[in-house]
Amino acid sequence: MMTIEEFGRRLRAREVTAEHVTDGCLRRIETDNPRLNAFILVMADDARRQALEADKALAAGRDRGPLHGVPISIKDLLDMRGLPTTAASRVRDGHLANRDAAAITHLRQAGAVFIGKTNLHEFAFGTTSEDSAFGPARNPHDPARSPGGSSGGSAASVAAGMALASIGTDTGGSIRIPAAACGTVGLKPSIGEVSIDGVVPLSRTLDHVGPLTQTVSDACLVYHALLGDGRVTPPAPMPLHGVRLAVLRRYFCDVLEDEVRARFESALDRLRAGGAHVDDIDIHHATDIASVYLHIVLSDAAAYHATALETMPERYTPPVRLRLEMGRYILAEDYVRALEGRELLRREVDAALAQHDALVLPTLPIPAPPLGANSVEVGATTEPVRNLMLRLTQLFNVTGHPAISIPSGRTSAGMPCALQLVGCRMQTDALLRVALTCEPHVSSEVRS
Amino acid sequence: MWAPVWGAALAVPGDIMTIDAWLQAAIADAERRGLPELRPALEALARATTALRAADFNDHADT
């Protein structure tokens, strides 16, 4: 499957056309989407027209940069002018966006071809993409399993070759979790870098927009396009020798499925062997992360949904409705306590990064769970799926640090595992450079 | 517009809004609103709130 970088080289060498590659993605959608349910809307005619225009523009000498003519899918949580933004919910029936989200505006300017809008967990409030008004999205590596969520359709679309990249959102891990579950790269930039204007919110204080791609280089290209800086080329990797990594052990590595743990330790061994300096480090208040996150996300989500919960509760899927209702019972004093905890956790992650280039931990403690599973056995314990899926990612939404998920091998059943790197706030480019450096040492072919 | 979720149920048993009192009031309110299935979720939230209040980063006026 072609990366954006390879597509760009071959497009400019006149070896491929945007029309040809877009047609290939559309054929893959036709073949695989009935099985994977990754797309809510396929924009076949419009995508072909955009691709043709991209080819004509290039032939006329108008090159918009690295995303010129690249077929990209969009999570159906971002407004696209003239189209419904369903958020995978019947609550949004009849909606039509009258303008583009800021991220979409930037991608249009960068010359991207929009191939369709992808399925997600309803209102992005879940980690499995199974509670959707359009039915569950499925994992390309095993359709009986979840593709992760909430950007599950986005990850499935990239992993299955239905798009060269996708745009997702991440409030507690919703880019990184599906990226890990489907074997793609997923980048949550630093908080506030990529505009969330025109994105249906889950929590305006935790929401991020970012790319899902096949490689770190491609993530870098799409990230810069999302910033409105569509002509940047990826930085050169730095030498691995001397890169300082800190492994988050206590709490973060306490509950890991055996094969996930083995792939993680094996990736660390390869990084050490390549010359990286790898320390262990603790986040002192790690055991408070889940309660801090829960009180913030539930309160923020309940405020946005309060009216719809009263006027059309039957239009929500029952699990998402119940989750939203929980937030309406949180006391203001507890929300304030959570905000205090957020500041403390931010300072602790800053301190952990003070002497390191990046923090490192797995992205998911388990491989993609079976659809319909409420809990999963990990070692001697049985844990709720939602708690496990969020356990290793939600901290960096609370603190705002940039984080990227990179494939790190497969389980014996063929399901992807992933490693997460975390960088300093407002230094996403520096994190991407570390990720480019580490990627060849930790990644193996996991795409279907 | 929506009605306050808590309604009259905000009157909790006892004088102080302890987590137990909050939970009982919340469950009663959910049942009044026809949402008895919210009970396990509220019990989980009560456990999270207990942990949040016990965290050592909380400031207290009397300490």
Please write the tens of the pLDDT for every residue from A283-311.
999 999 999 999 999 999 999 999 999 99
Q: Could you confirm whether A174 is annotated as catalytic?
A: yes
DSSP string, A372-408: T-SEEEETTEEEEHHHHHHTTTTHHHHH---EEEEEE
pLDDT digits (tens, 9 = 90+) for A331-361: 999 999 999 999 999 999 999 999 999 999 9
| For residue A235, pLDDT beyond 90 | no
Classify burial at A53, counting beta carbons within 10 Å of its beta carbon; exposed 0-12, middle 13-18, buried 19 or more.
middle
Q: CB B62: neighbour CB atoms within 10 A? A: 3
pLDDT tens profile B7-31: 545 555 555 679 999 999 999 999 9
CB atoms within 10 A of CB A284: 14
* Adjacent-strand bridge partners of A168: A210
A63: exposed, middle or buried (Cβ count in 10 Å: 0-12, 13-18, 19+): middle
Q: Exposed, middle or buried by CB within 10 Å (0-12, 13-18, 19+), for A59?
A: exposed
pLDDT of the residue at B13: 54
Residue A27 to residue A378: CA distance in whole angstroms: 39
Whether A331 and chain B come into contact, CB under 8 Å, resolves to yes
- DSSP states along A117-154: EE--SGGG--SSS-S-TT----BTTBTTB---SSSHHH
For chain B, which residues lie within 8 Å of any Cβ of chain A, measuring from their own Cβ?
1-3, 5-6, 17, 22, 26, 29-30, 35, 37-38, 41-42, 45, 48-49, 51-53, 55-59
Region of poorest pLDDT, from A251-255, B1-5, B11-15: B1-5
Partners of A188 in the β-ladder:
A403
Q: Are A336 and B52 in contact (CB under 8 A)?
A: no
| Among A285, A325, A330, beta carbon nearest to B35 | A325
Residue A340 in contact with partner chain B when CB distance is under 8 A: yes
Of A1, A98, A105, A95, the C-alpha closest to A41 is: A95
Task: Identify the band that residue A230 occupies on the pLDDT scale cut at 50, 70 and 90.
Answer: confident
Phi, psi of A321 (to 5 degrees): -60, -45
The per-residue pLDDT for A446 is 44
Q: What is the pTM of this model?
A: 0.96
Compute the C-alpha angle A69/A75/A140, nearest 5°: 90
If residue A177 lies in a helix (H) or strand (E), which one and from where to where? helix A176-182
- Which residues 6+ apart lie within 8 Å of A136 measured at CB? A37, A128, A129, A130, A146, A371
- Other Cβ atoms less than 10 A from the Cβ of B28: the count is 17
Which pLDDT score, from 0 to 100, does residue B15 have? Answer: 55
Percentage above 70 pLDDT, chain A: 99
Averaged pLDDT, A41-45: 98
ipTM, 2 decimals? Answer: 0.91
Q: What is the pLDDT of residues A367-388, one digit of tens each?
A: 999 999 999 999 889 999 999 9
Distance CA A169, CA A78 (A): 9
- What is residue A385's predicted lDDT score, i.e. its pLDDT? 97
**CB count, 10 Å around CB of A298?**
25
Comparing CA positions, the residue from A415, A416, A433 lying closest to residue A424 is A433
A443 is catalytic: no
Distance CA A214, CA A219 (A): 8
Task: Give pLDDT, residue A152.
Answer: 98
pLDDT at site A448: 41
